[in-house]
Amino acid sequence: MTIRVGVADWRVTDDDSLLVTSGLGSCVAVAVHDADAEVGGLLHAMLPEADGPVENPAKYVDSGLDEMLSAMMRLGASPDNLIAKLAGGSSMLDLSIGDSVGARNVAAAERALADAGVELLASETGGDSGRSVSFSPTSGDVTIDRVDTEVLVI
Amino acid sequence: MRVDLDAVASFSQTGDEGGQRAADSLEGLTGIPATCELTRTTLVDADGLSVFLGTTSERVTVSFDGALAGRAVLSFDEAFADHVADELGVDADLALPEVANILTSGFVDAWAADDEETIDIQPPERIGSEQDVVQEAAILDDCAFVFESRVVLSGTRGTCRFAVLPDVDSFESYVAESDAEFSLADLAAHIRVASVSADAVASHLEAMTGVEATLVESHVDFVPVERVPSLLDDAAYEGAIFESEGVIDSVVAILFDEAESGAVASLLLDDPEAGSAMAESAVTELGNITASGFLDEWANALETTIDISTPSHVRDAGTAVLDTVAAAYGERADTIAVVNASIELGPDVTCRVCTFPSPEDADQLGDIADGLVDDEDAVDAVDAVFGDDDSDDDGAGEDA
């Protein structure tokens, strides 16, 4: 089954479902995986860091990752077995507003994963084009699709 | 005519909660995983309401009364209808009214949550014709109010567009009880900004390309920032992005949905063998003139000037483009206003214009709407003195 992950959203699964999210511009997708427990989660976060308690933690990389990791533990994942892959954070538009939010999202994801003790195994970030991402918690593969570009698997 | 946009935003947040409750109710009662991908409070030009609501054949309406009165119009695409029929083991004719009932109950719960009065819903009914929907919709000063949530089935991408059309009197009472400091008429006036902008876009596109431009619909969305990307789909759009600066700062996206890649450039370039750089330049220039055209209307209405930046050319998924704009504004606002126009340019190209006023400046939209009325009044006065040879002229300054 395919499970859609919206913007400012995360989903976890312990079966062979595919976690899919699309429309990543400056947002980032963080895929976290426990191969032994066969538990996976995919976060689509819009902004780097929450400034205090927020209504929707998944909007932010740091609070969204915290929340998703907790949900993965409840499904049986072990903190010692987690690895992560990261995609997104592009700078496709030259806007005066937003202050390099794509690059800051990537940096926030790397920092949050390090703080949580999760190894970042692979990443495909930056650039100037959008991405769609699908994550198979069974294989651990993250498949990245772009307009006019060949599919990439990390 | 300042409208407290935070108050309008609160309706979108309530609608977003209602949309998610509707999706959760569906999943809880049927076991079919579903999410709410888009929620918006939308002002729709009354003439374009039928187009805005879509033309799917699978439609059900549910009336409700109480803390908020009106009707929900649920439009199911084929993938949604087939999937729920399979999962529930009955024909779509039986499954869809039941699903409509579940979704509507979930949605109205959020609207009644802070009210002592409950909301009672009536049995679902199949919609007979498009005309029935439009005729019964609440219209105020050529503006229809729509709260829309889009509920998407996780597995199949089947989509239900869940549009709530509140009764005007009931919505006015609801607005008054929410301590929002604006009248519904003030809010409705915002539709003029969308209508005039869309007309200007259509006339400039037609003048530049020589191809007939047909306005499909125009509307104003008030949408939670994380729902902004869902205003477009994942298809590849080519176009240009600008920033405007002046009394109202904004980001303007002029995006072309092409039946075939290069269809827009071919309208502009005589040489079919022209290189990609020249094609990009032509598309960007078309966007530039189009954006200038309607921003001039805004500037005239405010009796000021609005400058626009050098454009960025894009060819990317519509969702990814809007995702980038939404994230740029996301640290400054939870909900933003978007002025939308959709224009068909011949049979092969649709132009989508999404203008995002800076959250700090969005209340200027009311002043622009005021100014547009003044412009029309001035033209009417001139016509009254000197005669009106062109009765179709809307007086909005097409030469601006």
**What six digits make up the tokens of B270?**
């005589």
Residue pLDDT, tens place only, B58-97: 888 888 888 778 888 888 888 888 888 888 888 878 888 8
Residue B201 contacts residue B290 (beta carbons within 8 Å) = yes
Residue A3 contacts residue A17 (beta carbons within 8 Å) = yes
Provide, as residue numbers in chain B, all residues whose Cβ is less than 8 Å from the Cβ of A24: 320, 323
Helix (H) or strand (E) holding A133: strand A131-135
Query: Greater confidence, B322 or B392?
Result: B322
Provide, as residue numbers in chain A, all residues whose Cβ is less than 8 Å from the Cβ of B312: 92-95
Q: Do B323 and A98 touch (CB under 8 A)?
A: no
Q: Which B residues 116-175 touch A at CB under 8 Å?
A: 152, 154-155, 157
Residue B311's CB is within 10 A of a number of other CB atoms, namely 21
**What six digits make up the tokens of B64?**
């409700």
Identify the DSSP state of A86.
Answer: E
Cβ neighbours for A102, distance < 8 A, ≥ 6 positions apart: A25, A26, A28, A88, A89, A90, A91, A126, B324, B327
User: Which of B13, B245, B248, B324 best probes binding to A when mutated, by most A CB atoms within 10 angstroms?
Assistant: B324
User: How far apart are the C-alpha atoms of B29 and B347, rounded to whole Å?
Assistant: 43
**In terms of CA atoms, which chain A residue is nearest residue B38?**
A6
Taking only Cα atoms into account, the Rg of chain A, rounded to an integer number of angstroms, comes to 14
Query: Greater confidence, B364 or B329?
Result: B329
Helix (H) or strand (E) holding B306: strand B306-308
pLDDT at B136: 62
Residue pLDDT, tens place only, B170-222: 777 777 766 666 677 777 888 888 888 888 888 888 888 888 889 888 888 88
Helices assigned H by DSSP within B309-363: 318-330
Provide, as residue numbers in chain A, all residues whose Cβ is less than 8 Å from the Cβ of B33: 1, 3
The pLDDT of B131-140, averaged and rounded, is: 66
The pLDDT of B108-129, averaged and rounded, is: 77
Smallest Cβ–Cβ distance between B323 and the set A4, A7, A9 belongs to A7
Question: Residue B188, by phi and psi: left (phi above 0), alpha (psi -120 to 50) or beta?
Answer: alpha
User: How far apart are the C-alpha atoms of B397 and B194, rounded to whole Å?
Assistant: 15
> What is the nearest CA distance from B329 to chain A, expressed in angstroms?
6
Q: Do A23 and B324 touch (CB under 8 A)?
A: no
pLDDT at B381: 52
Whether residue B161 is predicted with pLDDT greater than 50 in this model: the reply is: yes
Question: Measured at the alpha carbon of residue A58, what is the angle toward residues B255 and A126, in degrees to the nearest 5?
Answer: 50
**Distance of CA B386 to CAs B372, B376, B397, Å?**
21, 15, 17
User: How far apart are the C-alpha atoms of B81 and B88, rounded to whole Å?
Assistant: 11
- A134: closest CA among A126, A144, A149, A125? A144
Question: Measured at the alpha carbon of residue B208, what is the angle toward residues B203 and B212, in degrees to the nearest 5?
Answer: 55
User: How far apart are the C-alpha atoms of A132 and A146, rounded to whole Å?
Assistant: 6
Q: Is A78 a catalytic residue?
A: no
Q: Which B residues 311-370 touch A at CB under 8 Å?
A: 312, 314-332, 358
Q: Do A101 and B323 touch (CB under 8 A)?
A: no
pLDDT at A105: 96
pLDDT at B386: 45
> What is the nearest CA distance from B327 to chain A, expressed in angstroms?
6
Whether residue B397 is predicted with pLDDT greater than 60 in this model: the reply is: no
pLDDT at B396: 31
Whether residue A45 is predicted with pLDDT greater than 70 in this model: the reply is: yes
Whether residue B392 is predicted with pLDDT greater than 50 in this model: the reply is: no
Whether residue B33 is predicted with pLDDT greater than 90 in this model: the reply is: no
Q: Do A130 and B321 touch (CB under 8 A)?
A: yes
- DSSP output for B126-174: E---HHHHHHHS-EETTEEEEEEEEEEETTT--EEEEEEEE-HHHHHHH
Burial of B392 (0-12, 13-18, 19+ CB in 10 A): exposed
User: Which of B24, B38, B226 best probes binding to A when mutated, by most A CB atoms within 10 angstroms?
Assistant: B226
> What is the nearest CA distance from B312 to chain A, expressed in angstroms?
6
